[in-house]
Structure 1
Amino acid sequence: MDSSYSWLRLFMSVMISIVGSAGMWIVVVVLPSVQSEFGVDRSDASLPFTTVMVGFAIGNLVLGRLVDRFGIVIPMAVAALMLAAGFALTSQASNIWSFAAYQGIFVGIGSAAAFGPLIADISHWFAKRRGIAVAAAASGNYIAGAIWPFLLKDIIAADGWRDAYLIASLASLVIMLPMAFLLRRKVPKQNVDIGETSVQHLSGLKFIQLSPRSLQILLGVAGVGCCVAMSMPQVHIVAYCADLGYGVAAGAGMLSIMLIGGILSRLASGILADYIGGIRTILLGSFLQCLALFLYIPFDGLMSLYVVSLIFGLSQGGLVPGYALVVREYLPAKEAGERVGLVIMLTVVGMALGGWISGWIYDLTGSYQAAFVNGIAWNMLNMLIMAFLLWRTKEPGAVPA
């Protein structure tokens, strides 16, 4: 654990995640173009993002189980092929329904391998620095969100969204697929065994007065709450800027700034979690995210939206990897892939639900203001659950080992 190879493996995992997460962000940037070409309303145009999130959720659970049984290489290689096929098929979609189906079945499930399963895999290679390692692996998703919209926005403007999907297909084949085989070294069994002994001795959290099932359920509900809130700016910021007259390019720039802030906060949260534990880290991030969502309501000027988007990114980056850390602090290492996959699946359900609900509220009210209020309410649910988990947590020495 924490060896030089562990850090090299972490670097390779981040590179794979950057390519493997492309589909989650391209669909956000092309939303206005797809809506215009297919002649649908905003909620229907948001459907492909929802199907991506549904596929992503299912993929995290299914592929996480496969990683527990067979290691990371085979699931990752299959995912790369699924992504290449999915992007190519999406580029030929003739209506919003086939577009959404290709996104959910191929792109959503394929993208999942580059998140929960990859995080679970890297968690076996670190003990002392597990928090920063998990956060760094999870940051590949946000780095993808900062890079891909920036790289493809001019192509989308000049040549259309279909060419952007063909480029993503090629990247999955020539970059992600070969790199998957660089992770073929198996986790040493003694590392898994060390993880199976109560990780409570490695974290600052000795014991929680909940059954494993209750803890897993509460983490899942909390994940839904925080990600319904998180999805509002991430999914709709480009469309929001287009509605305000600032243009798609401005919205893509805000999304990139938001995700760059998310990368920084994700890494900082990982470092912090190594000292204060996953539950406290999530609670802090949730509180800051809620404050940032409040700022979107009164400020809708161009420069103020750039600033608020940066604040939002800096607030929420550590939330999702924090759930993986809590799982690894309290639950057996041999079940890491499945359990991390399950909680990540439910955070993604929150993203999918929030992306659709925000579009539905927009269609109903003609404004995103009520959608921001909806996000704040879900965020408060998350804060209540995490505060409850912290209250039920006993510090080392509070109960017998």
Structure 2
Amino acid sequence: MPQITDQAHQDREPAYRWVIAFTAAAMLAVVMGQLVNGLSVFFIPLERAFGWARGDIAFINTVGLIGLAVGGIVMGRIADRAEIRKVCLFSVAVTSLCVFAAAWAEALWQFYLLFFLAGAFGGGALFAPLIALVGNWFHKGGGLAIGIAAAGQGVGQGGVPFGTAFLIEALGWRGAFMAQGLITLALLLPLALLMRAPPQRGAHATGGREDAPPLPLSTVIPTMSLAVLMCCTCMAVPLMHLVPLIQGYGISATEASSVLFAMMIAAIVGRVAFGQLADMIGAIPAYMTASLWQTVLVFVFTQITDLDMLYVFAPIYGFGYAGVMTGVLTTTRALTPATRRAGATGIILAFGWLGHGLGGYQGGLFYDLTGGYDVSFANAALAGVLNLVVVGSLYLALRRRAALPA
């Protein structure tokens, strides 16, 4: 009888990995949708309310992403040792409180402080730990699972700005921040309680050792950090500046936000598809394919002024661009041991958030300097080329390593 009970428990445990994957996706949608590019619909309201330059407003997002980078390193290491449920609850509390408090901000430094804290202890306590958790629950088909979790971020990056645009119209920008804080707490508190570590299996359960990673971490972490810095600098420009770019054509905020939303809906499919592609052809080839897609198409946004054409092009771009983040995550999983995965992911993603901050800030800065977005989007394409060079060198190093005799 005990044997039947034990076997039933083992049969139930693997099924729970899908609860982890989809719950992680939902939590990342809410938190990362606010921190990565949710500020994009606040550009014009804050510009009108305070008269601040667009570069200064974009720097609010940059400071938040710097916080996300720093917090990801610290919280990733903590998550390798701490109970994941407590880490998630801490993230939910900090994020909701900081966003709610932004409704009373009157000065730039107050926005900078609140978004830094939300990034460091909100998003930083969530993204790397959850992605590592999902990867650790899946021993086969991890690319698809990580793609699903990453797709949650894509949902948030499209859905949060889209929904916030209506909140701003109905409640004003201060009311929108208050509503976001309350919604975050109400949605994520019960989801955080579902999180738990996977059952120990294999090397952990038997006291054995993990297989050695294909390259030393001293090579993997710096190389992937440089690659993700460049790829996220590229992707941040349309994420942060597509809405104000379209508004500059005389199109309303809700219509401009709906273009971004259409792009991110396609990105949901793209993140899952490139996760599956990583399981089929390998993590790095899938990453390079998505990077090439993003790099070739990003500048085209500045050449389209027709709303209908933007609705057509944005999803095409979004499907391929979305695979970049999935590629980063699946490649990191493939090249790092499970016992150090959250910490390594936190370090690598720290440079991703710095890239997001750099891309968003330079987009606003060069807009202020030139009165347009051509230079900003050209810089994005250049960063994409550099990312391809770095990832290509990593792929060649792995090929050479595989060719060596054991």
Displacement after TM superposition at 1:108 (Å): 5.1
- Structure 1 residues 214-253: aligned runs within 5 Å: 214-253=219-258
Displacement after TM superposition at 1:169 (Å): 1.2
Amino acid in structure 1 at the alignment position of 2:301: Y
Amino acid in structure 1 at the alignment position of 2:25: V
Contact 1:84 1:172 in 2 (8 A): yes
Distance 1:191-1:168 versus aligned 2 partners, 3 A rule = farther
Amino acid in structure 2 at the alignment position of 1:171: I
The 1-side partners of 2:211 and 2:221 are apart by 17
Displacement after TM superposition at 1:180 (Å): 1.0
Amino acid in structure 2 at the alignment position of 1:385: V
The 2-side partners of 1:36 and 1:108 are apart by 28
Amino acid in structure 1 at the alignment position of 2:326: P
Three-state SS of the structure 2 residue aligned to 1:183 is coil
Contact 1:77 1:177 in 2 (8 A): yes
**Between 99-108 and 35-44, the greater mean CA deviation after superposition:** 99-108
CA deviation map 1:272-331 (0-9, x unaligned): 001222111111001000121132243232222222221221111121232222222122
- The question of 1:119 aligning with 2:131 is answered yes
Report what 2:394 is aligned to. Answer: 389
1:38 corresponds, among 50, 72, 83, to 50
Three-state SS of the structure 2 residue aligned to 1:182 is coil
Task: Provide the identity percentage.
Answer: 28
The 1-side partners of 2:392 and 2:150 are apart by 24
- Structure 1 residues 314-353: aligned runs within 5 Å: 314-353=319-358
1:304 corresponds, among 309, 333, 336, to 309
Report what 2:5 is aligned to. Answer: none
**TM-score, normalization by structure 1:** 0.92
Report what 1:78 is aligned to. Answer: 90
- The question of 1:356 aligning with 2:343 is answered no
The 2-side partners of 1:396 and 1:229 are apart by 30
The 2-side partners of 1:267 and 1:192 are apart by 29
Provide the aligned length of Structure 1 versus Structure 2: 392
Report what 1:15 is aligned to. Answer: 26
The 2-side partners of 1:92 and 1:107 are apart by 18
The 1-side partners of 2:345 and 2:313 are apart by 31
Contact 2:66 2:119 in 1 (8 A): no
Distance 1:260-1:108 versus aligned 2 partners, 3 A rule = farther
2:107 corresponds, among 95, 117, 130, to 95
Contact 1:320 1:347 in 2 (8 A): no
Contact 2:34 2:156 in 1 (8 A): no
Displacement after TM superposition at 1:196 (Å): 5.9
Amino acid in structure 2 at the alignment position of 1:69: R
Contact 2:95 2:122 in 1 (8 A): yes
Report what 1:254 is aligned to. Answer: 259
Amino acid in structure 1 at the alignment position of 2:123: S
Distance 1:307-1:109 versus aligned 2 partners, 3 A rule = farther
Report what 1:172 is aligned to. Answer: 184
Report what 2:41 is aligned to. Answer: 29
Contact 1:80 1:176 in 2 (8 A): yes
Amino acid in structure 1 at the alignment position of 2:291: S
Distance 1:99-1:340 versus aligned 2 partners, 3 A rule = same
The 2-side partners of 1:176 and 1:349 are apart by 26
Distance 1:215-1:22 versus aligned 2 partners, 3 A rule = closer
Amino acid in structure 2 at the alignment position of 1:315: G
Distance 1:41-1:196 versus aligned 2 partners, 3 A rule = farther
Three-state SS of the structure 1 residue aligned to 2:80 is helix
Displacement after TM superposition at 1:215 (Å): 2.0
Contact 1:21 1:114 in 2 (8 A): no
Amino acid in structure 1 at the alignment position of 2:360: G
Displacement after TM superposition at 1:13 (Å): 1.6
Amino acid in structure 1 at the alignment position of 2:88: M
Report what 1:212 is aligned to. Answer: 217
Unaligned runs of 5+ in 1: 201-206
The 2-side partners of 1:191 and 1:31 are apart by 50
CA deviation map 1:179-214 (0-9, x unaligned): 212113x332325639963377xxxxxx45xx4212
Report what 1:129 is aligned to. Answer: 141
The 1-side partners of 2:172 and 2:68 are apart by 25
The 1-side partners of 2:92 and 2:299 are apart by 39
The alignment's C-alpha RMSD in Å is 2.1
Report what 2:150 is aligned to. Answer: 138
Contact 1:57 1:346 in 2 (8 A): yes
